[in-house]
Amino acid sequence: MELIVALAVGVLTAAAIYLILRLRTFPVVLGTAMLSYAVNIFLFATGRLAINQPAVLLTGGPYADPLPQALVLTAIVIAFGMTAVVVMLALGAYLESGTDEIDMKDETKGDRT
Amino acid sequence: MNHLILAPVILPAILAPLIVLAMRHEITLQRVFSVAGSAALVVIAFLLFGQAETGQIQVYEMGNWPAPFGIVLVLDRLSALMVMMTSILGLGVALYAMGSGWDARGKHFHALFQFQVMGINGAFLTGDAFNLFVFFEILLIASYGLMIHAGGRMRLRAGVQYVVYNLAGSALFLFALGTIYGVTGTLNMADLAMRVAALPEGDGALLRVGAVLLLIVFAVKAAVVPIHFWLPNTYTHAPAPVAALFAIMTKVGAYAILRMYTLVFGPDMPAIGTLAGDWLLPAAVVTVTLGMLGVLGSKHLGRLVSFSVIGSMGTLFLAIGIFTPEATAAALYYMIHSTFAAAVLFLIADLVVARRGAAGADVVAAPPIAQNGLIAALFFGAAIAMTGLPPLSGFIGKLLILDAAREGAQMVVIFAAILITSLIAVVGFARAGTTVFWKAYAVEGTSTPAPAQELPLVVTGALLSTMALLVALAGPVTGYLEATSAQLYERELYIEAVMPPVNAEGMPIPQSGTPEGEGPLPPDGPQTALPDGAEPGTVPGAYDNEGAQ
């Protein structure tokens, strides 16, 4: 199980980094979303991998570490919100400027903003 | 418990939704509430500052859960200082945005502004590493909104870059926290400090990975080369008041490095060593060089100020990277100064743009702007402060840093870096200032009339005068900052304040006994390891509560 989880985190991260380094916004947004999946699995695994153990301490028996689960929940919510923001922003930039390239040439000349 | 500690977070947190929900279409009401809230925050910050000055570290336990089970807010001298800086800058920015009409050029400026202030204050006050992440996200998501305020082609494109860069940074933050949690089993800073200190030398490879990842994350926020790429485009294209507010955002990164790498990953930890300083100092030399060269090469006023921010962060990290109490006191002085200097310069650039026609913020000769003399004088003063010439506070800041670096082995490098880059910056600012304000007289043409607003000029002048005030009060200020950095390096005070030693019944022990924290988790810890690594019963009452949650 350790190998599978580690591979999942590694492959997701590698794919995410590749996508984030792309030229256009759509793959970059996919990449950031994928990176957040990778980090969620990673966070989940920091509480040690265990099977069939409750996250709530009832009778003193074995139990899974509940804290990483709470952390992951927070991270998921934040990542979800952030993805929504970046999608809206990318869409706005595309509609406004007619290009979806991430890179900016030095176009500050005569910039009156 | 002193509830005032919560006020810098809760006040903007209540104001912001109120502004969105109740006064969405009433810009006047928004302004009244936003400015009143910012002014109230200044008062609160001064009260907290007065309390912190006694040297006592105060702890606020959220929901009355004791650390390390609950989240705590911690008020010490450093957090009080940072909150006060934020509140003063916030009031200035709110007034400037109101006076210049920037806040009416798009929607929800004041709500986003309050959320941003909330996130910044929270980051300064929190005593929990994961909570620090959450407050980082709050200030970031508000800054995304502020960054693209008023829209525009270039601003939106710069905004996309900024958001993507910071999303990657946030993911890295989580990786770092996960790694650290996996090794130590806690994320409360005081608890972390105890666990890390107990970790023997040679047993902390994984922890060092976490510490370096965390350093990278904070360095992204602080715009240390080579991960500074988000800053120039963001600050250049952000609305001027927002860019001025962002001047404190790089300092959030500097604060986090200062906090984590003195308290948790301090230089005297056997498992960590001088890791942070070893990486920060060379990076700082490159940062300050690149930043000031950028000042020299910029053809756009906003970009010029952005690069001067990078340069000043480099200077700051030259001082922080030494990690001695004297150097940290000098760094704190320079931090206060550079925040206000950068903010003032962004506002002055906006004053120029507002009075210039087609030339915008380009560093080219264009017909003289209205009020050319006044604005040139403001620019002159701010440039003197930013480059570190006497008589303004930049000079004292750099002098303090040089003095603190005198003893160390890196003295030659630090002296050379600061002195040479200061010269480059002086040339860069002189070139830009003469082109924009003096060569203008050689150009024929009519200028646009001055906007009828007085408030932006008053605010800019007031913020500029804080730097004169910093010089006038240099004695008391450095006295406070020396006490601040002394407190920072006495880690036991912080740890004892957050986690008072308890006996077997969970009752506080009056005298300062040894902390009851156990050693680190075994590397291949049992699958049933308790989340905090403590034996059940060490802190009985608290643990039962946690289980029953």
Which chain B residues contact residue A60 at CB under 8 A? 536
Q: Determine the pLDDT at residue B525.
A: 38
The pLDDT tens digits of the residues spanning B449-476 come to 777 788 999 999 999 999 999 999 999 9
Q: Is B228 on the interface with A (CB under 8 A)?
A: no
Percent of chain A with pLDDT over 90: 54
Q: Which candidate, B171, B336, B292, places its Cα nearest to that of A41?
A: B171
Q: What is the mean pLDDT of chain B?
A: 88
The CA–CA distances, whole Å, from B144 to A19, B115, B239 equal 22, 11, 12
The better pLDDT of the pair B366, B12 is held by B12
Please say if the pLDDT value at position A60 is more than 80. no
Across the range B46-64, mean pLDDT stands at: 92
CATH number of the domain located at residue range(s) A2-49+64-97 in this protein: 1.10.287
Q: Which two tokens stand for residue B409?
A: 């082995």
pLDDT in tens, A28-57: 999 999 999 999 999 989 888 888 887 777
Q: Give the residue-averaged pLDDT of A52-79.
A: 84
Touching A: B residues 335-394, CB under 8 Å? 353, 358-362
Which of the 8 DSSP states describes residue B57?
Answer: -
E strand map for B135-278 = none
Task: Find the closest chain A residue to B133 by CA distance.
Answer: A75
Contacts of B355 (CB under 8 A, 6+ apart): B369, B370, B371, B375, B447, B448, B450, B451
Q: Which helix (H) or strand (E) holds A68?
A: helix A66-97
CA distance A8 to chain B (A): 14
- The answer to whether B54 touches B35, Cβ cutoff 8 Å, is no
Percent of chain B with pLDDT over 90: 69
Instruction: Look at residue B537 in the predicted model and tell me its pLDDT.
Output: 38
Distance from CA of A101 to the nearest CA of B (A): 9
Token couple for B369: 């702007």
Residue whose token pair is 């043409």: B445
Kindly report, residue by residue over B89-126, the tens digit of the pLDDT.
Answer: 999 999 999 999 999 998 899 999 999 999 999 999 99
Give dist(CA B174, CA A40) in Å, integer: 8
Lowest mean pLDDT among A98-107, B123-132, B316-325, B534-543: B534-543
Distance between CA B220 and CA B172 in Å, rounded?
10
CA-CA distance, A100 to A70, in Å (whole number)? 36
Mean pLDDT across the stretch B15-33?
93
Find the radius of gyration of the CA atoms of chain A. Answer: 20
Range of A60-69, B365-374, B383-392 with top mean pLDDT: B383-392
Q: Is B168 on the interface with A (CB under 8 A)?
A: yes
- Which range among A20-24, B150-154, B167-171, B344-348 shows the weakest confidence by mean pLDDT? B150-154
Q: What pLDDT was estimated at residue B505?
A: 63
Q: What is the pLDDT at residue B526?
A: 40
> Measured between alpha carbons, how far is A48 from A2 in angstroms, rounded to an integer?
10
CB atoms closer than 10 angstroms to residue B396: 22
Containing B60, the helix (H) or strand (E) segment is strand B58-61
Token readout for A4 is: 């599978």
Tokens (6 digits) for B446: 């009519």
Which of B143, B157, B161, B528 should be substituted to probe chain A, the one whose Cβ sees the most A Cβ atoms within 10 Å?
Answer: B157
Q: Is A96's CB within 8 Å of B156's CB?
A: yes
Amino acid identity for residue B125 in this structure: L
Rounded CA separation B216/B49 (Å): 30
Instruction: Tell me the mean pLDDT in the region B66-88.
Output: 93
Q: Output the CA torsion sign for B431, B394, B345, B331.
A: positive
Q: Can you tell me the mean pLDDT for B349-357? A: 88
Q: Where are the domains of chain A?
A: 2-49+64-97
Give, for B61, the enclosing helix (H) or strand (E). strand B58-61
Number of A:B CB contacts under 8 A? Answer: 149
Residue B67 has pLDDT above 90, yes or no: no
Mean pLDDT of B70-97: 95
The phi-psi region of residue B40 (left if phi > 0; otherwise alpha if psi is between -120 and 50; otherwise beta) is alpha
Q: b/e string for A42-56 if b means 16 or more Cβ within 10 A?
A: bbbbbbbebeeeeee
Q: Kindly tell me if the per-residue pLDDT of B532 is higher than 60.
A: no
Which range has the worst mean pLDDT, B127-141, B228-242, B408-422, B510-524? B510-524
Q: CB distance B171–A39 less than 8 Å?
A: yes
B415-450 in b/e burial notation, b at 16+ Cβ within 10 A?
eebbeebbebbbebbebbbebbbeebeeeeeebeeb
The DSSP element (H or E) to which B38 belongs, if any, is helix B27-52
Say whether residue B108 is in contact with chain A using an 8 A CB cutoff.
no
* Rounded-to-integer distance, Cα B435 and Cα B362, Å: 10
**Residue B127 DSSP class:** -
Chain A residues with CB inside 8 Å of B154's CB?
Answer: 97, 104, 107-108, 111, 113
The closest CB to that of A42, out of B175, B358, B547, belongs to B175
Residue B506: which pLDDT band, with cuts at 50, 70 and 90?
low
Question: Within 10 Å of residue B146's Cβ, how many Cβ atoms?
Answer: 25
User: In Å, how far from its chain's centre is CA B447?
Assistant: 38
Residues of chain B positioned with their CB less than 8 A from the CB of A48: 525, 527, 529
Burial class (CB in 10 A: 0-12, 13-18, 19+), B452: exposed
Contact A107 B154 (CB under 8 A): yes
Q: How far is CA B502 from the centre of its chain?
A: 35
pLDDT mean over B190-207: 86
At B529, is the pLDDT very low, low, confident or very high (cuts 50, 70, 90)?
A: very low
Q: Could you say which DSSP state residue A101 is in?
A: B
Mean pLDDT of B516-544: 41
Predicted pLDDT at B342: 95
> Would you mind telling me the total number of residues written for chain A in this entry?
113
Q: Which residues of A72-103 are buried (b: 16+ CB within 10 A; e: fewer)?
A: bebbeebbeebbebbeebbebbbebbeebebe
- Both tokens of residue B448? 């646009």
B26-54 pLDDT per residue, tens: 899 999 999 999 999 999 999 999 999 99
Instruction: Encode pLDDT of B160-183 as tens digits.
Output: 999 999 999 999 999 999 999 998
- Mean pLDDT value across chain A: 86
Q: Is residue B146 predicted with pLDDT exceeding 70?
A: yes
Nearest residue in A to B162, CA atom? A86
From B16's Cα to the closest Cα of chain A, the distance in A is: 18
